[in-house]
Amino acid sequence: MSRIAARFEQLAGRGRTALIPFVTAGDPSPEVTVPLMHAMVAAGADLIELGVPFSDPMADGPVIQRATERALAQGISLGQVLEMVRVFRAQDQDTPVVLMGYLNPIEVMGYASFSEQASAAGVDGALIVDLPPEEGHDLIAMMRDQGLDLVNLIAPTSTEARIAKIGQVASGFVYYVSIKGVTGAANLDVGTIADKVGEIRAQIRLPVGVGFGIKDAETAGQVARVADAVIVGSAIVGRIESLAETPERIPESIAEFLGGLRAAIDVADGREHGSTSH
């Protein structure tokens, strides 16, 4: 069983919705990333999504695009991101880490080399934004050989046939994009999210994480009532940006923000499980 599957099984047994923060590796500087990862775990993160900087982040909104630019200005490469994970693993062997990014840096490194190095560093899976389920069979096979999960995005516009196709290749969990468009946009419609999550669960026997548009404790708690995981990106990255000139404050600040989200999710979990036990 992969570290991701084991973590979700453990959380399900405790009736706990996963909290998955996203940060861009190397933003605003390489020295911040690993301490920030540890601080997020201490604040209640169950998995971590670590963004791999790429020069054309087409699915990302302006907040995460600027984070990518800051990281690229520091010269952050895929190899350096893997080294960050390796350093993180020296103190934390339990928290799953999923890389999120684009296919090009993996192609440059080579599919086999990436899969081997990622596994050796302690990476648990990858979400490759521009890898449709119909493609990338060689990469998927190499990742599986190394015990890496492939996390797939599902959009509000995804049809039942599309969801079924994603289910054939996805592992670990699937990431439902709750809002059309780029990251960090618009407002949530929890009723619509609940309907779509139900549709996904009817087709895919994996945990369903929901992200895009979760800005605060209130929205995190709302999503926790209908999803297996709450994924938060732009709201965290925006706070990192505001502290870019005082990077030593970032781990504590983000931990405080995540602590509020974790508390709201725990309240939602308690209400849900309390209501079903009577």
Residues labelled catalytic: 49, 60
Residue 114 tokens, joined: 């990436």
Task: Spell out the residues 6+ positions from residue 254 whose beta carbon is closer than 8 angstroms to its own.
Answer: 21, 23, 36, 39, 40, 43, 236, 239, 240
Residue carrying the six token digits 């390796």: 86
Tokens representing 132 are: 């449709």
**Angle, alpha carbons 226-95-245 (nearest 5°):** 90
The CA–CA distances, whole Å, from 102 to 60, 146, 166, 218 equal: 11, 19, 17, 31
| Rounded distance between C-alpha atoms, residue 114 and residue 109, angstroms | 6
Task: Kindly list the distances between the CA atom of residue 209 and the CA atoms of 61, 70, 98, in Å, as whole numbers in the listed order.
Answer: 19, 27, 13
As a whole number of angstroms, the distance between CA 63 and CA 65 comes to 5
Give which of 206, 276, 240, 214 is closest to 25, Cα–Cα.
240
Rounded CA separation 123/98 (Å)? 6
DSSP string, 90-113: TT-SSS-EEEEE-HHHHHHH-HHH
CA distance 275 to 259: 24
